[in-house]
Amino acid sequence: MDDTEPVQPSLNSNYVPTTPSNHHVSEDEESDDQSPSSSLLPKHSSVPLAVRYSPEDSYCFVYIIFFLMGIGSLLPWNFFITAKHYWLYKLSNNTHGSGNKEHRSDLSDYFESYLAIASTIPSVLCLILNYVLVNRLSSNVRILSSLFVILVVFVVTTVLVKVDVSDSKTEFFIGTLASVAVVSGASNLFSGSVFGISGHFPMRISQALISGQAMGGTLSAVASILDLALAKDVADSALAYFLTADVFILLCIMTYLLLPKLAYSRHYMLAATGDRGAAAAGTGSGVSVPPLQPILRKTWVLGLSVFYVFFISIMVFPAVSSGIQSVNKASGSPWTTTYFVPLTSFLLYNVADFCGRQATAWLQVPGPTSQVLPVLVVCRSVMVPLLMFCNFQPRDHLHTVLFGHDVYPVVFNCLLGLTNGYLGTLPMIYGPKVVPRELAEATGVVMSFFLTLGLAVGSAFSVLIVHCI
């Protein structure tokens, strides 16, 4: 695969056509001195011509590694959510029994509400911490430490699957929320750091990382459906979930350790180290916090676009979309009772989201400075009323169902996922490219912060939306 990226004219880099030799000139290695924002930062010395030539990504190894790390960044969290029946079983009053039947308890009734709170706050705090640590701790330390923390938590969680906690449900409840908080925070530190270093690579690498995150959601949705069809015991299915997550975390650690051994990634990672050193030298300190003002000056529209895309998506997915039932549910068929929500809400949304993100590898329109991009983002607001007026049940206030056919939630969920993937990915990959190279990693962290903030605020509004219905 050719490593040359289609560059939008508005990106502040000088594109040099591919040379006919085995190496080519990378747009990310071009000087940013002509950028309007370069006056805010210390000037680079001239880059030697030999440094401008980057190796090729042989067999797309680096692309695949970032794709796998994208899967690993969200797969643990997705599997925590997918194991919903396991948590309810553990917190119910029937853990001495042998079946899957769940007896309600106060802990199980409020588990999901506490789960959202336990995951949101650490996510935002860890992304702020990540920005502060960009120049204080190397990306290797931040990424590997967060992966090891996630691995330890999941190994403990896996062991607890076979432990009887019926006499200490409150302690298990508190411990689970603490585990969710740690995993959520560490996952965001990991994903923010990885997306930060991907900003030093061509845009295809950032796109691979984001597409991998969508694939993580797709895999968890497939696992949920297979569980419904095949699993006979809720504890055994949860054990399979957590063991799979353990394997993926180990895979992320091994593949990340492989990156410096590949010439293509080593080229960009060494350049990134030099850029950070130049930025720190200009401020007179080796541990300076990256300047936020020049980053926001160039990326505030892109950041708000990312925020609003995920704000709208999380408002209705999965809080509203998973509550839409088949209008033929009374027929009692497996499609309308067991598989309708997992297929139409979770699987279709995640597959469409993946397709939207993957499309940005070939099509990058509108550009980073186009006014069309934020307009399209705002137009997604229509998805909220469209899903609200499907057959969501129970309905306490909005009794009218305008879209009373099963095809409507299928179409609406596909549109929601497709637009989330495409319009959410474009500003994410544009952000690190519209700032000088030495701010690319910090900009990637800032864009991740906008994304997480959109999820946090949207989660709060999703509760209001459900109550309004």
d(C-alpha 467, C-alpha 392), whole Å: 12
d(C-alpha 41, C-alpha 439), whole Å: 10
CB-neighbour burial class of residue 69 (10 A; exposed 0-12, middle 13-18, buried 19+): buried
Q: List all residues 6 or more positions away from 261 whose beta carbon is below 8 Å from its beta carbon.
A: none
Give the per-residue pLDDT at 128: 87
* Nearest CA among 427, 431, 454, 426 for reference residue 442: 431
Q: What would the two tokens of residue 60 be?
A: 């797309």
Is the bond leading into 6 cis (omega within 30 degrees of zero)?
no
- Res 198 pLDDT > 70: yes
For 130, the 3-state DSSP assignment is helix
Q: What would the two tokens of residue 200 be?
A: 């030093």
Mean pLDDT of the 134-140 span: 83
Give the per-residue pLDDT at 106: 58
Which of 23-27, 133-137, 192-196 bottoms out in mean pLDDT, i.e. has the lowest?
23-27
Mean pLDDT of the 292-303 span: 94
For 54, the 3-state DSSP assignment is strand
Give the per-residue pLDDT at 8: 41
Band (143; pLDDT cuts 50, 70, 90): very high
Give the per-residue pLDDT at 277: 56
* Nearest CA among 377, 376, 369, 213 for reference residue 311: 377
For 257, the 3-state DSSP assignment is helix
Full set of structural domains in the chain with CATH: 58-289 (1.20.1250.20), 290-469 (1.20.1250.20)
For 53, the 3-state DSSP assignment is strand
CB-neighbour burial class of residue 100 (10 A; exposed 0-12, middle 13-18, buried 19+): middle
d(C-alpha 321, C-alpha 409), whole Å: 8
d(C-alpha 132, C-alpha 288), whole Å: 8
Give the per-residue pLDDT at 46: 44
d(C-alpha 18, C-alpha 23), whole Å: 8
CB-neighbour burial class of residue 436 (10 A; exposed 0-12, middle 13-18, buried 19+): buried
Give the per-residue pLDDT at 469: 86
What confidence tens digit (pLDDT) does each residue in 62-102 have?
999 999 999 988 887 777 776 777 887 888 755 444 444 44
Q: In the 3-class helix/strand/coil scheme, how is 274-322 assigned residue by residue? A: HHHHHHHHHHCCCCCCCCHHHHHHHHHHHHHHHHHHHHHHHHHCCCCHH
More confident residue, 296 or 90: 296
d(C-alpha 221, C-alpha 209), whole Å: 19
Q: Please report which helix (H) or strand (E) contains residue 24, including its range.
A: strand 24-25
What confidence tens digit (pLDDT) does each residue in 26-46 have?
444 333 333 333 333 344 444
What phi, psi does 396 have (nearest 5°)?
A: -105, -25
Q: List all residues 6 or more positions away from 214 whose beta carbon is below 8 Å from its beta carbon.
A: 70, 350, 353, 354, 356, 357, 358, 421
> How long, in residues, is the chain?
469
Q: Read out DSSP for 154-202?
A: HHHHHHHTTS--TT-HHHHHHHHHHHHHHHHHHHHHHHHHHHHHHTTS-
For 324, the 3-state DSSP assignment is strand
What pTM did the predictor assign?
A: 0.76
| CA dist 322 → 38, 174, 213 (Å) | 47, 26, 20
- Res 424 pLDDT > 90: yes
The percent helix, strand, coil of the chain (3-state, each to 5) is: 70, 0, 30
d(C-alpha 419, C-alpha 412), whole Å: 11
